[in-house]
Amino acid sequence: MSFSDRILGKKSPNGKPHIETVTPAAALPGGDVRIIGAGLKPAGAVRPRVHFGDSEGTVVIGAEEFIVVRVPYGAGSGVVTVDANGSKSNCSDVTVAHMVAENMHPVTNPAIDAQGNVFTTFSGSRGDKVPVSIYKIDTEHDIKPFLAEIMNATGVAFDNAGQMYVSSRNDGAVYRVAPNGTMKTFAEGMGIATGIAFDREGHLYVGDRSGTIFKINRTGETFVFATLEPSVSAYHLAFATDGTLYVSGPTISSNEAIHRIDASGSVSVFYRGLGRPQGLAFDAEGNLWVAASLSGRRGIVKVTPKGEASLAVAGQNIVGMAFTADRALMITTNSGLYYLKLGVEGQKLNG
């Protein structure tokens, strides 16, 4: 018997609203979480009120056994409670991300260097040159402009030696960027170059959203590694510890797949059933985290190595993420950067 079957029709203790669980138990402000329990909206009662600490959320759906509520802006991590018909529920824990930077325009994962600094793009509309292409956020979350010369900076990645590389979807090139911000063209002719990632051997892979995954060796020689259906947005790439490349790329389908590409370039479907999958990251246990929708619920989906999917973080407009050394997630939306302390260790591909 499933949890939902067990809770359905359950009476609330002492006639008060009772929370059994909050799912997912982590969210960005503006994300929708589901509270499951009993007596959450007694018959004839007015709409329940849900509080995240001192901040009140917006109830989207209210029913006896569950409530869908939008996490308010300004809420912090702590407890959530339900007030219904003059009675307050028990407390349940929820982790809420806090904003690090706003008024940005990332389109892929952020990247983190060996010192813990975070780099994220202001990509802009294609063909528009923005004042700052990449921002640097240090470990104290102070934000500084880092690079201004790349038009439509898209993917950012570091190689095994800590060297930064940046793709441009405007000119189809990948640039090598020094710590002082000077840059040099590393590879050209990548079409609409979007997501980038390094394998364990230091080869760079670039997703051309028109349908090609390129492989570039350490001397800059370029090969066609694999081909996929063209993406309407961008390819996003992540390597597992066994050397398998995982790729997402939204198409016009509403039932999207995460593709798996082996060392020979053979493509297979790892998981299907997501809406607009974008940024990817692996945790230390081999679970794949994907910015996507699952069963109509938007946020970050965790897919186990066995292909079991669940919504791990609720949030709107998420495009990417990266695990930090302190077991948190740096999450990019299409307009900002958030820090979410989850207590999950990220994969160490080169460790």
Cα–Cα distance between 280 and 271 in angstroms, integer?
13
Please state the rounded mean pLDDT for residues 232-261.
Answer: 94
11: left (phi over 0), alpha (psi -120 to 50) or beta: beta
Instruction: Give the Å distances, CA to CA, from 1 to 5, 8, 11, 86, 263.
Output: 6, 11, 18, 33, 42
- Domains of the chain, each with CATH number or no CATH: 3-96 (2.60.40.10), 98-340 (2.120.10.30)
Model pLDDT, residue 139: 94
Tally of residues, the chain: 351
Confidence of residue 202 (pLDDT cuts 50, 70, 90): very high
Confidence of residue 11 (pLDDT cuts 50, 70, 90): low
CB neighbourhood size of 22 (10 A): 23
5, pLDDT greater than 50: no
Q: What is the pLDDT of residues 210-234, one digit of tens each?
A: 999 999 998 889 999 999 999 998 9
Q: What is the pLDDT of residues 130-181, one digit of tens each?
A: 899 999 999 999 999 999 989 999 999 999 999 999 999 999 999 999 999 9
Helices (H) and strands (E) in the chain, counts: 1, 34
343 vs 128, more confident: 343
Confidence of residue 349 (pLDDT cuts 50, 70, 90): low
Model pLDDT, residue 7: 42
Please state the rounded mean pLDDT for residues 21-45.
Answer: 92
What is the CA 107 to chain-centroid distance, rounded?
A: 11
Cα–Cα distance between 273 and 27 in angstroms, integer?
21
Give the percent of the chain with pLDDT over 90: 84
Model pLDDT, residue 328: 97
6, pLDDT greater than 50: no
Is residue 57 within 8 A of residue 69, CB to CB? The reply is yes
342 vs 41, more confident: 342
Confidence of residue 1 (pLDDT cuts 50, 70, 90): very low
335, pLDDT greater than 70: yes
Is residue 134 within 8 A of residue 121, CB to CB? The reply is yes
DSSP class of residue 346 equals B
